[in-house]
Amino acid sequence: MVGISFGRMGPSFSRSNFSLPIILLGILLLIFNNSPIENPELDLLDSIHGFAPWFFVCSLGCFLVLRGSPIYWKVRYPQLFIGWIIILLSFYLFYEYYELPDNFLLVALFSSLGAILSLFLFILLVRFVENSIPLEDPAPELTEEEKDFVKKIISINIGVEEK
């Protein structure tokens, strides 16, 4: 909690530089704890031990897939294929390490219903807000001076000399 609080201070405070190391230290102390732990901390630790292996492997795979995916029609096939293989490995680790609760189907059903209901309400809210705000008049056409200014900025940004 201290690390998260430090991180929320923003870059203007020098304490924000310590947020990530404190968060990592807290997680490492929780995972590699030698003293006996009682509930509810034991449940949290068991959950982390079931979650961490496949999550970090999947994160690495997703990172590699994103790095290898086409950008401007250039594909990095080795990163892409290795990333997908690592993601498939994370599915294996998920089924190997993560113990599904007894009421998994019930929890999954109600979680899905909650997500669908939330999405539906969000869509309704967006439609309500968009319909309740009156339309504005179209913006006036740019003057010649404004057009020249925009052309100059775009020319500078794309590296083309203005004629």
Residue that the structure tokens 């899905």 belong to: 112
Pick from 42-46, 49-53, 69-73, 114-118 the range whose average pLDDT is largest: 114-118
Q: How many CA atoms lie within 13 A of 160 on its CB side?
A: 8
- Say if residues 78 and 87 touch (Cβ distance below 8 Å): no
- The reported pLDDT for the residue numbered 115 is 92
Q: d(Cα 76, Cα 82) in Å, to the nearest integer?
A: 10
pLDDT digits (tens, 9 = 90+) for 125-149: 988 988 888 888 888 898 999 999 9
Instruction: Enumerate the domain spans of the chain.
Output: 1-32, 38-99, 105-135
Task: Please measure the distance between the N-terminal and C-terminal CA atoms of the chain and give it in whole angstroms.
Answer: 58
3-class DSSP assignment, residue 24: helix
